[in-house]
Amino acid sequence: MFNYSMVKLVRGHSTKLDKPLREAILDLYKPFRFTPCFLHRFLEKRLQTKQKLSVIIEFERTAVFFHSFLMEQLLNGHGKSCVRNRFSSISCCSAYITPERLEFILSHCPSIKRIYLNRKIKALRFGHKAQKPGQPTKNTPGLLTGKGVTIAIIDTGVFQHEDLAGRISGFVDFINGRANAYDDNGHGTHCAGIAAGNGLLSNGTYNGMAPEANIIGIKVLDRTGTGTIESIIQGVEWCIKYNQNHPSHPIHIISLSLGTHATKYMTEQDDPIVRMVEEAWKSGITVVTAAGNDGPDPFTIASPGVSEEVITVGSLDTSHIYPSETFNTAPFSSRGPTIYGKRKPDLLAPGVDLISLRTPGSFIDRFQKSNRHEKHYTKMSGTSMSTPFCAGAAAMLLQSDVSLTPNMIKQLLVEGTSFVNADGVGQIDVERSLDLLRRRNV
């Protein structure tokens, strides 16, 4: 019989292992129920030295490069353990690690603050077949177009669609390492079109909110729309460093149409992905993120949308009124408060059957053929769609006044909302927000 060494590891270091990691370690014992007892000790020893866990290691907020270098010395060369990436912005590194090495570093490195399981992150598209006619994004005539503003779409990539021609000003791929812009899923391109498509192939019918804004595609999700905490952190930190290296033409807005079920920590800032997006916010980038698609139950706001700092967006269904709602909040849209008891989302934006850019041959395009609209467009729903709608609205505000800080933009968008529901969350109203800005500038 085995001696439950990994159970002892979890119990002995429970304060430094987040709950998903503790559960992942204990789950390693599940196959033993079907294994003869005389093999248990051998198999347990093998798991300790051969089973690879993907983790994020957080250090006390001092020299992260020194601690990462120390981790490399302690991990590299020990079977499957190795350091993968360093994230100086939040004093973390990512690593593959075996249970045996995990116990070793916890026992010998007092500078480790906490270790997190590198959990899966998914695009927040609501998976249904469109039942109604699609809806254009509807940039209000006469308003600003986002010219001179750059929006980073951190997602599945961006297809070089003609409605974005000449405005994809950058691309980076943290999944496959490719240099040229592409999207093998289709979700990121649809989001980019809602934010900044110019409607060229539809004679302006399906233009985005900020049809002259520039787009930078940052691929952190694979062809199925799945990534990890590590890949999202890589994408956000890349934006921060990009701005440090390109101060004359920075990224102004990050649009994050992705998330994962929030894990309860002491505070939301203990969540590594929340800490990363808040670093981007502090650096001057307006971060807009999806609330999640787990409604209508309360306490379902996804991470990183639980952050108090960033703008968290829920979905409206602008084509139907639901009798159970004060106004037409989409049933799937996640509701607040957050698991920390904070009010969220910050505002609501259209998110049901929005027509935007199609990526021919992509994962979604092949499996959702019925949602195609004409030749160059397709319909999707979700808080994923509401998020770039809000990002485009933020771009219009920035075009009007480039000196606006992320906090000012959030305040203008929230104070400018209309049709506030029983939870105190209003519908985005760009004209009212712009009017507030004009009055403040008089």
The pairing of strands 150-155 and 286-290 is unpaired
Q: Which of 67, 161, 187, 190 is catalytic?
A: 187
Paired strand residues for 116 = 56
Kindly state the tokens that stand for 270.
Answer: 């203990």
CB-based contact 65:88 (threshold 8 Å): yes
CA distance 17 to 9: 10
Q: In what order do the strands lie in the sheet with 226-228?
A: 226-228, 120-123, 258-259
The residue type of 17 is L
Our CA dihedral for 93, 98, 100, 102, rounded to 10 degrees, sits at: 20
CA distance 67 to 59: 7
Paired strand residues for 203 = none
3-state secondary structure of 239: helix
- 81 secondary structure, DSSP code: B
Q: Which of 384, 386, 429, 433 is catalytic?
A: 384
Residue 384 known to be catalytic = yes
Paired strand residues for 255 = 153, 288
Number of neighbouring beta carbons within 10 Å of residue 302: 25
Residue 187 known to be catalytic = yes
Q: Which of 155, 184, 294, 429 is catalytic?
A: 155
**HSE toward the beta carbon, residue 25, CA cutoff 13 A:** 28
Q: Give the Å distances, CA to CA, from 73 to 9, 80, 83, 213, 292.
A: 22, 14, 9, 45, 40
Q: What is the DSSP string of 289-349?
A: EE--S-TTSSS-PPBTTT-SSSEEEEEE-TT---TTSSS-B-TTS--SS-TTS----SEEE
Kindly state the tokens that stand for 376.
Answer: 């160059």
The pairing of strands 112-117 and 53-59 is antiparallel
Kindly state the tokens that stand for 1.
Answer: 């019989």
Counting every residue written for the chain, the total comes to: 442
3-state secondary structure of 170: strand
Q: Which residues are catalytic?
A: 155, 187, 384
